[in-house]
Amino acid sequence: MSPLQKIQSKQFDRDSLLEKVETWDAKGLKIVFTNGCFDILHPGHIDYLAKAKSLGDKLIIGVNTDASVQKLKGKNRPIQNEKARLFLLGALEFVDAVILFGEDTPAQLISQIMPHILVKGADYTIDKVVGAETVIPSGGSVVLLPYLQGFSTSGIEKKILFSSVG
């Protein structure tokens, strides 16, 4: 398989991802799920995702569609379209699957996948993590990971805007 084919093989629609999850479950593999916009991939994202992967065997990333990013972040976002964001995340060696979701939250996707571990950033509290109410009662856990200081998409965006003005 070529490197490009490997990246593309990590991009799933919902039905094919659920089939893959069944296969992984049957093998007793621990599935980790996280989600986000991942608009401008930066070292903070890489650190967070690598730590998430270290919690289990397979890492699935739910990625907001362009429409849902715009709804969450405003009319000037996303900076990179959903196809580009899926491609970049799929290029990371430790990422096993990427999938788009267009709903307001990933709650439905999480309830279908039923990950063993649900991961979000430490800026959340467990009671505010979408999907925690599904994952915890089924025997899974929610892990809050600290962010790598000094990196954020909005910070990068501001720096670019400021440098283009000044």
How much is the pLDDT for 76? 82
How much is the pLDDT for 147? 83
- Dihedral (Cα; 44, 141, 94, 158), 10-degree rounding: -20
Residue 166 has pLDDT above 60, yes or no: no
Q: DSSP secondary-structure letter at 125?
A: -
Which ranges of 38-90 does DSSP label H, i.e. alpha helix? Answer: 43-53, 66-73, 82-90
Residue-wise pLDDT tens digits, 3-50: 999 999 999 999 999 999 999 999 999 999 999 999 989 899 999 999
Q: Indicate the pTM of the whole model.
A: 0.91
As given in the structure block, the two tokens for residue 46 are 């890489």
CATH class of 3-165: alpha beta
- Higher-scoring residue by pLDDT: 122, 115: 115
Residue-wise pLDDT tens digits, 147-157: 877 666 666 56
